[in-house]
Structures are given as structure tokens and as C-alpha cells.
């Protein structure tokens, strides 16, 4: 529902305020604490007809070593397309990565023994249309790197879950949060 | 790196997989089976 605006002196009802809290802006859908030495984390019940657009964040915790995380929707391991660039803090060059038929989106979060970090924006994972994604991740240690990617999943499957998988090693702790962008 | 390649780096033959709040050990074979089916209608026992 649309956000209600008020005039000076108007009585603010609980129903109207609660509607405003549930409308507009980012709505936290789910918080998932990452367990101990896990190599993959599946988050179910993340996407629904309520929202078209989603933000997934990965914060904190530690990894067993430098690495990154891949993302798949549902159980689909085909038809992921992406183009991404990354750069090491110690390098002057930017490296490009791309695929038009990958088994996942790569580098959606960056892992290190210091922390894990990633932000993934998804459009239409629940809708029966192609899902698009943009993401970035930052590895904070001195020999770290940053990565930015964009891509699509070329199918019309409706998804409610996603899985983050480490590129190598494991992660311990940290938090995955899923937000929905209010449609109106 | 694919998951199979990542698995190959492990010294053990199983890894911890987390599904929501549940963490359990899976062998690579179990994981491959897991990833090939929708997680919502068939939650792991």
C-alpha cells in the first residue's frame, strides 16, 4: 500500500502507522546467522510475490582463507550469465571475468580470515521471468581485492531460495540478511 | 572454481552444509543430490 502522509494536528492511528512501516523502503525479510566451518549456506523462504527487487547482504564472520562465494537460485546450476571485474589492492590492473553459460554467479561476496562481505541486488527472482543481479564484495585484508559483477539467469523459473557456496575452504559466523524493496 | 573443484581441495570427504539454521555434514555426493532438487518442497531430514 502507498505511504500515508499526514497534516498538522491529525490523529495518527496505529493501523495507519503500521501500514507506513510495512510500505516503502527496504523491508527486512530474513536474517540468517552463518554456522561454524560451513562450505555452503542455503536460505529458504527468501523470495515471494510481495517484492520484485531484493537486497542480500553478507557481513562479518571469518573464512578459513582468502576466497569468495558463488550464488545459485533454487537448485539451478545452468544458464547463469555474468560479467565481472576485480582488482587486487596490490595491483594496478583490473581483471575481467565473464560467461554466458555458467553454473552460478561468482564472486558475489569476498571472504578472508578478517571478515566476509558482499551485497547482491536481485530483480525478479520470484517472478516467472529472467532474474538479473548486480553484486559487489570487498576483501578487507592488505592482500585483498574488490569485485563487482552483473548478470542474468536466463530461465523463467520462480525461486524462493538461494545458496551461497564458498569458492574454497569454509566460513564461520557472520550474518546473511535478505531485504525486499517495497513495490509501492 | 566449481563446487566439485572446491570439494577436491578438502582433506576430508565431507563438508558442513547449512540450510537455514541446520548445519550438517554432507558428502560431495549428498551435496550434489541436494543441489539437484528444490530445497523448499523437500527439506532435508
Domains recognised in chain A with CATH numbers: 26-181 (2.60.120)
Q: Could you tell me the residue range of the domain that residue B31 belongs to?
A: 3-35
B37 contacts in chain A (CB < 8 Å): 75
Per the CB < 8 Å rule, is B6 touching A161? no
What value does the mean pLDDT take over residues A33-41? Answer: 92
Among the partner-chain residues A36, A103, A163, the one whose CB lies closest to the CB of B2 is: A103
Q: Is residue B42 part of a domain?
A: no
Q: pTM for this one?
A: 0.83
How many separate domains does chain B show? Answer: 1
Give domain status of residue B22, yes or no.
yes
Predicted local confidence at residue B13, as pLDDT: 57
**What's the CA gap between A44 and A162, in Å, rounded?**
7
Residue B29 domain-assigned (yes or no): yes
Domain contains B23:
yes
Residues A172, A143, A70: CA angle, nearest 5 degrees: 45
**What ipTM score was computed for the predicted complex, to two decimals?**
0.74
Residue B1 CB-density burial (10 A; 0-12 exposed, 13-18 middle, 19+ buried): middle
Of residues A43, A40, A86, A10, the one with CA closest to residue B39 = A43
Interchain contact B24–A (C-beta under 8 A): no
Does residue A96 register a pLDDT over 50? Answer: yes
Interface size A-B, in CB pairs within 8 Å, comes to 70
**A1: pLDDT strictly greater than 70:** no
- Taking an 8 Å cut-off on Cβ atoms, the answer to whether A168 and B36 are in contact is no
Amino acid at each position: 500500500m502507498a505511504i500515508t502522509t499526514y497534516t498538522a494536528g491529525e490523529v495518527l492511528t496505529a493501523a495507519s502507522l503500521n501500514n507506513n512501516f510495512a510500505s516503502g523502503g527496504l523491508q527486512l525479510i530474513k536474517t540468517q546467522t552463518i554456522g561454524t566451518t560451513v562450505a555452503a549456506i542455503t536460505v529458504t523462504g527468501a523470495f515471494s510475490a510481495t517484492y520484485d527487487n531484493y537486497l542480500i547482504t553478507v557481513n562479518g564472520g571469518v573464512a578459513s582463507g582468502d576466497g569468495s562465494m558463488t550464488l545459485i537460485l533454487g537448485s539451478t546450476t545452468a544458464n547463469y550469465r555474468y560479467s565481472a571485474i576485480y582488482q587486487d589492492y596490490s595491483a594496478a590492473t583490473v581483471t575481467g571475468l565473464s560467461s554466458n553459460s555458467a553454473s552460478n554467479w561468482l564472486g558475489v561476496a569476498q571472504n578472508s580470515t578478517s571478515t566476509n562481505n558482499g551485497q547482491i541486488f536481485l530483480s525478479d527472482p520470484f517472478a516467472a521471468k529472467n532474474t538479473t543481479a548486480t553484486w559487489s564484495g570487498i576483501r578487507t585484508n592488505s592482500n585483498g581485492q574488490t569485485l563487482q559483477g552483473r548478470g542474468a539467469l536466463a530461465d523463467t523459473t520462480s525461486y524462493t531460495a538461494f545458496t551461497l557456496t564458498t569458492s574454497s575452504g569454509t566460513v564461520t559466523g557472520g550474518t546473511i540478511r535478505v531485504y525486499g524493496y517495497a513495490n509501492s | 572454481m566449481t563446487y566439485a573443484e572446491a570439494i577436491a581441495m578438502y582433506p576430508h570427504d565431507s563438508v558442513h552444509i547449512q540450510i537455514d539454521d541446520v548445519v550438517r555434514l554432507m558428502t560431495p555426493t549428498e551435496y550434489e543430490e541436494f543441489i539437484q532438487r528444490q530445497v523448499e518442497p523437500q527439506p532435508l531430514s
